[in-house]
Amino acid sequence: QQPPPPGRGEKPRLKAVEPLPDSLPALIPPAEELDSLDNDGLGDDYRFSKAYGQDQPTIMDTDGQALEVPRMSTFEEAAEQLRFQPFLRAALARRRFYQLTPVQQCTMPLLLAGRDFTASAFTGSGKTAAYLLPILTSLDQLSRLVPGALVAAHFKARSGDRSARPILGRVKGIRQGLAAIEFELATGLAHRQLIPPDWVVGVPEPQLPPPWKGPASPLAVVLVPTRELSEQVHEEARQFTVYSRLRSVALFGSSGIRSQLRDLAHGADIVVSTPGRLVDALHRGVCKLDRVRHLVFDEVDRMMELGFGSQLEEIVEQGGMATSMMGGRQTSFWSATIPPSVRELSEAFLGKECVWVDCTGGRTNPVPTTIEHVLVDVRPTHRVLRKFEPGNEVITNKGRRGIAEFAVGGRWRVMFTDGDLIEHKMHKKGELSLVKLKTEAVNEDRLQMLSTILASREFAKATVIVFCRRRDSVSEVYNYLKEKFLGVVICHGGMSQSARSRSVQAIREKQADILVATDIAARGLDMPSITHVVNYELPRVVDEFVHRCGRTGRIGRQGTAVTMVNGRENIFKAVRRTILASGQRVPQWFSLDGMMLPWRPKFYKPPFTKTKDGPERGATEEERRGYMQRIRDREQRQKALLMERAAAAVQGSRDTGSAHKEAWKDDEDEDGGEELDSEDDEDDEGDEDWDAQALREVELAAFEGA
C-alpha cells in the first residue's frame, strides 16, 4: 500500500484550521436575539418543554435503580462542567447553540464517564450533537496525551476517588483507553497510574500529526444506516472541528471509493460510515479499529431491520476493537424508536446490561407535540370507483365479486366464477364498483388531491417533503408534480449518490421547494427549512411514519405533517393511536367506522384553503413581480413541452414517410415502371404539407397558451 499523494513541498496534506477568535464568546444569546424570540416571545426552554413534554427523562442503571447525572440546562453550564475545549466553545458560539435539549442533558455526562447506554429520544431533538460534543472533547484530550509530555492531572487516591488537586506527571501512553501517567512524588519516587483522560486538566497543544504510516487508526467510529445520514453526521463533525486539527472522514457506498480512501489515508480521528463500506475498508487493510475509544450506533433499529447485524459483529471482532468489558471502548445506541426487541439485541451485542436513557416519556413511537397532524381522506369518489376497464375485478351492491368483460351501452357484462361453474351476467354500471384501488383512474384522483394540497394557501411559502413507499410511486409523483410546480426534486435508492446529494442540497439551500422521496430521506436528515411533510403513501411500519414526521418540527420548532389515508393501510390503527398519543384530535371520519364506505363522501372538502389565481390584494410590488415571473416560467415550460411533443410527432412521421419511400422503391425495382416516380413525389409533398401543418398547429397552441 502506497502513501497518499503529498501536498506542496512533498509534505503530507494537513487540515486547514481556522484561528480561534481573540476572545472566546460566552454561550449566551445576545440581547437582540432575546428581544426577538419566537414562539410568542418564549425561549428555547419553553419550546423544548412544549415539543418534548413535561415528563422528566428516565435514566436507569444496570441494577434497575435511577441514575443521577449533573443537571445542566444551557451549553454555557455544560462547557464549564464538562470542560469543553476552546475550539468547541468557539464552534458552539459560531453556530448559536445556547440551550440543551433533554437528551443532551442526560447523555453527555454519561459519554464522558465512559458508560455504555441505549438512548431513546424524539426525532429532531439534537441526538447528533449529544454524542459528537463529548466524543470530540475526549478525542482532543487523547490527541494531547503524547508520550513524554509533561501534564497536570488528578491522581487516584487510596480511597479510589479522584484527588482534590492535580499534580505534575509525565505521559507514558494510553492503555485500554486510559491515560498512563507517571507521577513524581515528593519523596523522589515515581508512581504510575491508569486514569481516565478527563482527569488530565493541563496538557500542551497537540503536535503536528506524524507522516502517514500504515492503515488509519480512528479513535471514534459512528455507524449509520444510510448514505445521506453519513454525509450529514460528517458535516456536523466538520463544523464542530473547524478550529481543531481533529479530522472526520465519511465512508459510504455508491460514491468514489478512491477519494474516500485517500481522505482516510490522510488521517482520521472520527470515521462516520455505513456498515458495508467500513467492512470493505477493513478487508482492504486501510483501516484498523484497535484504538477506537468511542463506538456509536445511530438509528440502531433501522440497521437491525436492514440486516446489518452480521456486519456489525464483524466490525467489532475483526477490526481489533477493544471490548467494553476491558474498559477500552464506550458504546452507545441511539434512535427515536427502540422497541424492546432491539433493546435486548443491543444488550446481547455488548455482552452485558447497559444504562437505559428514555427521553420520550415511555412511548414506543414518540412524535413531538409541536408537529401538527392534518389528515386528508383520499378514498376515490363514487364516480372514480366506477371507472373500470375490461379485466378489472368488480363487486356488486350485494357483495358478489367478478371480472368486468366489456360494456354494452350503460351495462357491463361480468363473469362470475363459483368453483368450476362460470356465469356471465349483465349489470348496470351503477350496481358495480372496483375492488382494488390500483387503477389509473384512482391514481389520477389521488394525484389531483396532492396537487390541490400543494397549491393551497397553507403551502404558499412552504418547503415540503412528499414521501412515497416505492420507487415507481416516487417517479410517478415527480413526473406529475414537475408539470405543475417549479422547484421539484427527487430522491430514491435507485439514483446515484451524487444525484441524491444534489437533491437534498437543493432543499437545504432553498433552491427547490418540493422533495419527492422514499423512506431513505426519513432517517436522521436535518433540513431546518422543511415546514411540511406529506405522506402520499403510508409506510409499512409505524416506526417509519414517526421518522417521516420528524423531518419537520426540528429542535422544538413548529411543523405540519399531512397524511393521506384511504382506510386500507396496514398501519391505519397504529397511526391513529400515535397521533392521539401526541395529544391531538383526529376527525370523526378517521376511524374504522368512518372508513367503512369504499368511496369518499360527496360533501367532503380538504382541510386547506384554495388560493385564487393572482397575487393577494395587499401584495407588494416585489411579490407581484415574482408572481408574474412564475407565470412566465410556467408558460415557457408548457410551450417547451408542446414543442418537444411536436418534434417527436414530426420525427415519427418522417420515419414513417421514409419507410414508405423504401417500399415504393422496392416495388419500382421489381416492376421496372416509371409512373411510380410521380406518385412518390406526391407522397413526399404530402409529408411536407403534414409537417408544416403540425408545426403551425403547435405554434398556434403555444401562442394561445402564452
Q: What is the pLDDT of residues 354-392, one digit of tens each?
A: 888 888 877 777 788 888 999 999 988 878 877 888 888
In a domain, 505, yes or no: yes
Question: Which of 160, 176, 202 is the last residue in one of the domains?
Answer: 202
d(CA 198, CA 269): 18
pLDDT band, residue 185 (cuts 50/70/90): confident
Reply yes or no on whether the pLDDT at 254 is more than 50: yes
Which grid coordinates belong to 345? 439485541
Residue 292 belongs to domain with CATH number? 3.40.50.300
Q: Quick one: how many helices (H) and strands (E) in the chain?
A: 21, 24
Task: Provide the pLDDT for residue 490.
Answer: 94
Residues 308 and 414 in one domain: no
pLDDT digits (tens, 9 = 90+) for 383-402: 887 788 888 888 888 889 99
In a domain, 466, yes or no: yes
Residues 476 and 354 in one domain: no
Task: Provide the pLDDT for residue 222.
Answer: 95
Residues 588 and 455 in one domain: yes
Which grid coordinates belong to 33? 436575539
d(CA 264, CA 277): 12
Residues 463 and 543 in one domain: yes
Residues 299 and 186 in one domain: no
| pTM confidence score | 0.73
Reply yes or no on whether the pLDDT at 218 is more than 70: yes
In a domain, 11, yes or no: no
In a domain, 138, yes or no: yes
Tell the residue number behind the cell numbers 374504522, with chain if given. Answer: 592
Residues 192 and 308 in one domain: no
Angle between helices 621-671 and 676-705 (to 10 degrees): 170
Mean pLDDT of 327-338: 82
Q: Max Cα separation, the chain? A: 124
In a domain, 261, yes or no: yes
pLDDT digits (tens, 9 = 90+) for 434-475: 888 777 888 899 999 999 999 888 898 899 999 999 999 999
Which grid coordinates belong to 347? 444488550
User: Based on the structure, what is the number of domains in the chain?
Assistant: 4
Reply yes or no on whether the pLDDT at 588 is more than 50: yes
In a domain, 654, yes or no: no
In a domain, 678, yes or no: no
d(CA 434, CA 442): 10
Reply yes or no on whether the pLDDT at 86 is more than 80: yes
Question: Which residue segment(s) compose the domain that 400 sits in?
Answer: 392-436
Mean pLDDT of 305-320: 80
Residues 225 and 350 in one domain: yes
d(CA 344, CA 361): 19
φ/ψ of 676, rounded to 5, equals -75, -20
Judged by average pLDDT, the poorest of 35-39, 348-352, 500-504 is 35-39
Mean pLDDT of 395-410: 89
pLDDT digits (tens, 9 = 90+) for 147-174: 888 888 888 888 878 888 888 888 887 7
Residues 337 and 465 in one domain: no
Residues 185 and 106 in one domain: no
Reply yes or no on whether the pLDDT at 697 is more than 60: no
Residues 223 and 197 in one domain: no
Which grid coordinates belong to 299? 438509528
SS3 (DSSP) at 240: helix
Task: Provide the pLDDT for residue 689.
Answer: 43
